[in-house]
């Protein structure tokens, strides 16, 4: 009997396809890399300074200080803002582990806070209940590409006399309430991991700020704690954005707004089709930022009303050649490495519930209407809608 390989007829939909943005830029990127090679300024070179100025301006702030990765941007950024050992920092439980690690590397104590289940962002009402005299800062994580409300953050920080330090690793040029990500806190951390809306070809990060003293502190901390060569006034580290990576980012930065608009277009298509499945238990994470959401990720919730659970849907989509992800399957407070923080299952019910429901669909500039339709049809078929 002739066996037919059904997988050969599938239309694959990758989770991310970076070639669509990189291929058209190859000549410019190669020229930019060659310029660094010819100049030979591989550490804190001209390309780094150019990018720091350009990215800070794009965020609407005065200063940018490039560092080795997004995690270092959080750790060094907090230190530069005056956070010290013994200080408490409010952190959403629903975030990537790097946020937690950054606080710990700064020597501070992370105090976790549950999330709003509709937007998956930090719940400021819950945050107010855990503020103590030791609490010095709050880290709003602009998760999936949507900012935490600036107006609510300003009111919260003023009421409790706290520093706002933004984790904007997933929110490059996101906007909400006429504010740009990176412009509402004393400082903000960004990551340039390759799959980010603005990514380099390895690890990279930056801290942006309006405050000159914070920027000066950062330049010192990232470079062995030395404001000048061989004079070490702080216990710093080696965490510098490479000139080669900065050169790549300089080429890509002018295209970021266009790429973000493309992501919004894809999200609108998803929203329109998935609206038909809401009563079947498929509910996208809520967007309260209109076009200001930059959709680093497009995340749906597979709720109790759905005929199948999240993991079953994930498997069925994979069978159809559709790559999906889960951001994030195990909350920070349940990770084995951080049990010493004293949290346990049940402490953050909304975060824990989301971790069992969320599913990230393919999202990148260049996702086609046919691919979106394939994803929708596959979901529809999988849940029997």
If asked whether residues 211 and 86 sit together in one domain, one would say: yes
3-state secondary structure of 33: helix
Only one residue has tokens 């690793």, namely: 169
If asked whether residues 265 and 239 sit together in one domain, one would say: no
For residue 181, being part of any structural domain is answered with yes
Question: How high is the pLDDT of residue 3?
Answer: 33
Last residue within a domain, chosen from 213, 228, 255:
255
3-state secondary structure of 317: helix
If asked whether residues 265 and 358 sit together in one domain, one would say: yes
Last residue within a domain, chosen from 255, 274, 301:
255
Last residue within a domain, chosen from 255, 274, 308:
255
If asked whether residues 71 and 200 sit together in one domain, one would say: yes
Q: How many domains does the chain have?
A: 2
Q: Decide if 138 contacts 156 (C-beta within 8 A).
A: yes
Low-confidence ranges of the chain (pLDDT < 70): 1-10
If asked whether residues 251 and 261 sit together in one domain, one would say: no
Question: How high is the pLDDT of residue 10?
Answer: 67
For residue 166, being part of any structural domain is answered with yes
DSSP-derived pairing of the beta strands 88-92 and 109-113: parallel
If asked whether residues 247 and 272 sit together in one domain, one would say: no
Question: How high is the pLDDT of residue 11?
Answer: 76
* CATH code of the domain covering residue 272: 3.90.1150.10
The pTM assigned to this predicted structure is 0.96
For residue 1, being part of any structural domain is answered with no
If asked whether residues 205 and 297 sit together in one domain, one would say: no
Q: Decide if 173 contacts 56 (C-beta within 8 A).
A: no
Q: Where are the alpha helices (DSSP H) in the chain?
A: 19-22, 26-39, 46-59, 70-80, 97-105, 124-128, 150-160, 212-221, 243-252, 256-274, 310-319, 349-357, 369-382
From 196, 252, 269, 280, active-site residue: 196
If asked whether residues 114 and 203 sit together in one domain, one would say: yes
Q: Reply yes or no on whether 196 is catalytic.
A: yes
If asked whether residues 351 and 372 sit together in one domain, one would say: yes
What residues make up the domain containing 336? Answer: 6-12+256-382
If asked whether residues 124 and 213 sit together in one domain, one would say: yes
If asked whether residues 204 and 274 sit together in one domain, one would say: no
Helix 97-105 to helix 70-80 angle (10° resolution) is 40
């Amino acid at each position: 009997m002739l066996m037919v390989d059904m997988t050969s007829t599938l239309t694959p939909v990758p989770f991310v396809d970076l070639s669509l943005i990189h291929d058209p830029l190859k000549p410019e990127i190669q020229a930019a890399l060659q310029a660094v090679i010819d100049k030979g300024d591989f550490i804190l070179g001209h390309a780094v300074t150019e990018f720091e100025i350009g990215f800070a301006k794009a965020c609407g702030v005065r200063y940018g200080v490039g560092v080795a990765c997004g995690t270092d941007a959080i750790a060094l950024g907090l230190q530069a803002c005056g956070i010290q050992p013994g200080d408490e920092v409010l952190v959403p439980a629903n975030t990537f582990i790097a946020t937690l690690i950054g606080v710990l590397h700064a020597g501070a104590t992370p105090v976790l806070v549950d999330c709003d289940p509709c937007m998956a962002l930090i719940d400021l009402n819950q945050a107010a209940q855990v503020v103590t005299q030791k609490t010095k800062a709050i880290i709003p994580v602009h998760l999936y590409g949507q900012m935490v409300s600036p107006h609510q953050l300003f009111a919260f920080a003023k009421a409790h006399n706290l520093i706002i330090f933004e984790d904007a690793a997933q929110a490059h040029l996101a906007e909400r309430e006429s504010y740009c990500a990176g412009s509402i806190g004393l400082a903000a951390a960004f990551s340039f991991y390759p799959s980010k809306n603005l990514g380099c070809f390895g690890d990279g990060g930056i801290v942006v700020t309006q405050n000159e003293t914070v920027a000066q502190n950062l330049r010192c901390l990232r470079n062995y704690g030395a404001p000048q060569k061989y004079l070490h006034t702080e216990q710093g580290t080696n965490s510098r954005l490479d000139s080669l990576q900065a050169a790549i980012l300089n080429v890509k930065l002018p295209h970021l707004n266009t790429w973000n608009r493309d992501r919004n277009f894809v999200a609108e298509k998803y929203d329109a089709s998935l609206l038909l499945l809401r009563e079947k238990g498929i509910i996208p994470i809520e967007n309260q930022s209109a076009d200001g959401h930059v959709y680093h990720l497009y995340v749906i919730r597979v709720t109790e009303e759905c005929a199948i659970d999240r993991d079953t849907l994930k498997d069925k989509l994979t069978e159809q050649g559709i790559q999906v992800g889960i951001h994030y399957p195990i909350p920070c407070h349940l990770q084995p490495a951080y049990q010493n923080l004293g949290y346990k299952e049940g402490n953050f019910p909304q975060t824990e519930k989301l971790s069992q429901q969320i599913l990230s669909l393919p999202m990148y500039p260049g996702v086609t209407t046919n691919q979106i339709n394939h994803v929708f049809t596959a979901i529809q078929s999988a849940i029997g809608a």
